[in-house]
Amino acid sequence: MKYYLIKILFTIFLFASNIQASTTSDKYFYAKKNYTTSVIIGDKNKQVKYLKQLISLGTKLKKDVSDFKNELAMVRSNNTYIQKKKQSKYKKKTYIEKKKQSKYKKVKKTYNKYYSIKSIKTKNNFIIIDFNHNVSRANIKFTEKRIGNTHYDIFDLKGNFKDASPLKLKIDNINKIWVSQYRYKTLRISVSNNYNIKSIYKIEKRRIIIKVYPKKRWKNIHKTKKSKQIKIVNPKTTFMKNKVIVIDPGHGGKDGGALGSKRVLEKNIVLKISKYLYKELRDNGFKVYLTRNKDKFIELKRRTKFANRKKADMFISIHANSVPKRKAHRVVGIETFFLSPARSERAKRVAALENRSDMKKISGYSSKNAVLSLLNRGKITASQKMAIDIQGNMLYNLQKYYGKKIVDKGVREGPFWVLVGAQMPAILIEVGYISNYNEAKRINTIAYQKRIAHGMYLGIISYFSKN
């Protein structure tokens, strides 16, 4: 009897240790993934945190953690060195400032208070503005004007610049860049040309960077009776002319997708936006393909197979979002997803809506996540970069026309079955919530559809120019 009792207890002990091992190995996997993310974004504190977790969990799993220990020591030494350097610089600065203030007390105070813009310079096709303080979107206002045949991109910056008297800057293929103190606390940068200029800006702590995309007009040499138009070519796209992009309008046919306010169907909205994006990309020299160009049902797995056959450099799946009626009046915004097991409940919910036609074939949430992680692990970083560029440019282009009505729901990870198997960077864009009355009304207009498609186009240009 004792022998059997000992045997049962030993079996229970083994089972419990196996459960513990599996949970520890899961924690080890996620710690490794989080550490990789922290390295990409350059967060030293998080790197230290996740390295400690990897050392602790790896020791429990009897793995070799010597590399992690060496990495932790290196990160810590770099971190302390940077902090000491900053402190020493700060001490030197405060000492010099105090010395100068003692001699020129009045002059120094008025100078710092008045001139909040430190410097303005150009590099290639960038205008770089450095401030004496941190800046946000509230510090810059963008407007476009056309007077006769001259096009203007005007940037009004909150602040004063001592050398704005006025100042002229130069960028190749741009007629004129004029900097002037437009008002007491408003510096104006006016970029003008005899054709329409495309320009975007980004904010980096104490810096605003304006990127100007100049266009040239080229006359079509082979004129025919049917076509006498002037073809406009963007020089930035000439090195991209061999890039292949596959656009996937979500749902279709028997799968209508989400049903929005006023009986608007997701499948119809996303097909229109996809066609506008297709046209703009094709007109600017890209090789573009649509997974569907009419109201037709296509299985999710066949969409990425099509992209792989075309040897695409990029796969973009376009969708529209929806929530239950009780939340519909307050939930709005644009978001972009790249493939990865979901971390947030919202990402899981959105993915469940988009996956329902094919994900039934794999049972169990953990099984689905394992498949998603395995099939696209190599493209996660590239897809994340692409998602950030396209999301930012969509918001920028739409907010010029609709202001605060356009809400940024961010770039997120999501377990989307349509992205699995893609052998290239792949993202899924939710162009807005058609369950919300006002947003559905806006999304259903030609103007909005063209503007969001143009924002996607600018994001694609931005991604390829950087990668």
What is the DSSP secondary-structure string of 145-160?
EEETTEEEEEEEEES-
| Per-residue pLDDT at 434 | 92
CB 460 within 8 A of CB 278: no
Q: What is the Cα–Cα distance from 60 to 162, expressed in whole angstroms?
A: 62
446 and 387 assigned to the same domain? yes
pLDDT class of 240 with cuts at 50, 70, 90: low
202 and 285 assigned to the same domain? no
pLDDT at 35 over 80: no
Domain count, the chain: 3
pLDDT at 347 over 60: no
Q: pLDDT > 70: what percent of the chain?
A: 72
In a domain, 232, yes or no: no
210 and 342 assigned to the same domain? no
The mean per-residue pLDDT over the stretch 235-255 comes to 79
384 and 327 assigned to the same domain? yes
pLDDT at 350 over 90: no
Q: What is the Cα–Cα distance from 296 to 254, expressed in whole angstroms?
A: 8
Q: What is the DSSP letter of 128?
A: E
Lookup: tokens for 311: 């040897």
Examine residue 166 and say whether the peptide bond preceding it is cis (omega within 30 degrees of 0): yes
Q: Indicate the burial class of 339 (C-beta count within 10 angstroms; 0-12, 13-18, 19 or more).
A: buried
110 and 121 assigned to the same domain? no
269 and 296 assigned to the same domain? yes
The mean per-residue pLDDT over the stretch 68-90 comes to 67
pLDDT class of 287 with cuts at 50, 70, 90: very high
In a domain, 429, yes or no: yes
- The residue out of 184, 216, 248 marking a domain boundary is 216
| CATH of residue 195 | 2.60.40.3500
The mean per-residue pLDDT over the stretch 332-359 comes to 62
What strands, in cross-sheet order, belong to the sheet with 167-169? 140-147, 150-158, 186-193, 176-183, 167-169
pLDDT class of 97 with cuts at 50, 70, 90: low
pLDDT at 358 over 90: no
pLDDT tens readout for residues 374-385? 445 557 888 889
| Per-residue pLDDT at 216 | 45
Average pLDDT, the chain: 76
Ramachandran region of residue 299, left (φ > 0), alpha (ψ -120 to 50) or beta? beta
By mean pLDDT, which of 265-274, 341-350, 423-432 is the weakest?
341-350
| Per-residue pLDDT at 239 | 55
385 and 254 assigned to the same domain? yes
CB 313 within 8 A of CB 244: yes
- The residue out of 94, 114, 134 marking a domain boundary is 114
In a domain, 227, yes or no: no
**Is residue 50 classed as helix, strand or coil in its secondary structure?**
helix
The mean per-residue pLDDT over the stretch 5-33 comes to 60
pLDDT tens readout for residues 125-167? 889 999 988 988 888 888 888 887 788 888 899 888 887 767 7
pLDDT at 76 over 80: no
256 and 207 assigned to the same domain? no
Place of tokens 């009780």: 326
In a domain, 228, yes or no: no
The mean per-residue pLDDT over the stretch 81-103 comes to 57
Query: Greater confidence, 282 or 354?
Result: 282
Domain of 185 in residue numbering reads as: 115-216
In a domain, 226, yes or no: no
| Per-residue pLDDT at 101 | 57
176 and 280 assigned to the same domain? no
Residue 240: in which H helix or E strand, if any? none
429 and 389 assigned to the same domain? yes
131 and 15 assigned to the same domain? no
130 and 55 assigned to the same domain? no
pLDDT tens readout for residues 383-432? 889 999 999 999 999 999 999 899 999 988 877 767 777 888 999 999 99
Give the closest residue to 365 by CA, choosing from 348, 387, 347, 377.
348
The mean per-residue pLDDT over the stretch 187-195 comes to 86
In a domain, 230, yes or no: no
Query: Greater confidence, 89 or 250?
Result: 250
In a domain, 221, yes or no: no
pLDDT at 20 over 70: no
Q: What is the Cα–Cα distance from 248 to 378, expressed in whole angstroms?
A: 21
- The residue out of 91, 114, 137 marking a domain boundary is 114
pLDDT tens readout for residues 445-455? 999 999 999 99
Q: pLDDT > 90: what percent of the chain?
A: 25
Give the closest residue to 279 by CA, choosing from 255, 323, 247, 316.
247
| Per-residue pLDDT at 52 | 85
In a domain, 231, yes or no: no
**HSE value, Cβ hemisphere, 13 Å, CA-based, for 177:** 21
Beta-bridge mates of residue 189: 155, 179
| CATH of residue 310 | 3.40.630.40
By mean pLDDT, which of 26-40, 44-58, 185-199, 224-238 is the weakest?
224-238
pLDDT at 359 over 80: no
> How big is the CA angle at 70 (ends 69 and 71), to the nearest 5 degrees?
90
pLDDT class of 237 with cuts at 50, 70, 90: very low
pTM given for the model: 0.49
